[in-house]
């Protein structure tokens, strides 16, 4: 009887392990890319679809794929962040997949760069993937977005065509507090209004530190202070 139970237990372990090992490209985690749809952008001015290779610049953060792990899976795979489509692309068995935007796979850890992406609902048009910059009671996140600028045909024979371009926009910063998100904080008054209990200490902090609210390092310093 003990032998039968042991065998059944072993079969269950092997079965579970096999399912988890297979999860990256099955069980709904991996959505196969259709090359006829993905990596293409519609150009109204040209009246056709451009491949990414036809467009100047890149829609991707960083260069190439880098190893990443995903919440909801015990696996890792080469992945990259498409800042134009706001999607995580990864490869498995020489096939390309897109990570579903679900709570199950809401965290992506890039092993080599030590960067971490979180899928957040910020209640605006930028909801999606954000880089975590500072963690703690109050968190600092950064959104990186790429815009497609369509080609402009030459108006006449004396002018030249302007090619289609991927342009990376200025990052948008969010401070996540217990009350919600502060998007691109503008000035010290906005911060003090959100932290009235820290008014005196914040006024002293701003007096000692010339914070520029469009600088990542200054915002990091501010959020570190808020977490003290």
Q: What are the boundaries of each domain within the chain?
A: 2-184
The pair of structure tokens assigned to 7 is 């065998």
| Per-residue model confidence (pLDDT) at position 74 | 85
Q: Which residue blocks in 62-178 are alpha helix, DSSP H?
A: none
Residue 87: which of 43, 53, 37, 136 has the closest Cα? Answer: 37
Q: How far is CA 2 from CA 5, 6, 9, in A?
A: 5, 6, 10
80 φ, ψ to 5°? -150, 155
Residue 102: which of 72, 145, 143, 132 has the closest Cα? Answer: 72
Residue 225: which of 131, 138, 116, 132 has the closest Cα? Answer: 138
Q: Please state the pTM of the whole predicted model.
A: 0.83
The residue-averaged pLDDT of 23-45 equals: 65
Helix pair angle (216-226, 199-208), 10° resolution: 150
- Write the pLDDT tens digit of every residue in 161-216: 899 999 999 999 999 999 999 999 999 999 999 999 999 999 999 999 999 999 99
| Per-residue model confidence (pLDDT) at position 4 | 40
Q: What percentage of the chain exceeds 70 in pLDDT?
A: 84
Q: How far is CA 227 from CA 183, 192, 201, 202, 220, in A?
A: 18, 14, 12, 12, 11
């Amino acid at each position: 009887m003990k032998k039968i139970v042991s065998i059944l237990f072993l079969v269950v372990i092997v079965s579970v392990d096999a399912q988890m090992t297979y999860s990256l490209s099955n069980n709904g985690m991996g959505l196969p890319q259709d090359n006829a749809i993905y990596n293409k952008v519609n150009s109204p001015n040209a009246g056709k679809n451009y491949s990414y290779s036809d467009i100047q610049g890149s829609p991707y953060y960083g260069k190439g794929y880098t190893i990443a792990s995903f919440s909801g899976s015990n696996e890792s795979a080469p992945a990259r962040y498409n800042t134009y489509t706001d999607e995580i692309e990864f490869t498995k068995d020489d096939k390309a997949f897109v990570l579903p935007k679900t709570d199950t796979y809401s965290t992506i850890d890039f092993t080599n760069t030590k960067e971490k992406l979180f899928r957040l609902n910020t209640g605006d048009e930028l909801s999606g993937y954000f880089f975590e910059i500072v963690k703690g009671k109050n968190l600092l996140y950064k959104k990186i977005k790429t815009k497609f600028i369509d080609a402009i045909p030459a108006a006449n024979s004396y002018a030249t065509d302007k090619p289609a371009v991927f342009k990376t926009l200025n990052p948008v910063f969010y401070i996540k507090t217990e009350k919600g998100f502060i998007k691109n904080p503008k000035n010290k008054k906005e911060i003090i209004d959100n932290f009235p209990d820290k008014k005196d200490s914040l006024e002293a902090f701003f007096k000692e530190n010339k914070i520029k609210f469009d600088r990542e390092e200054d915002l990091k310093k501010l959020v570190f202070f808020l977490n003290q």
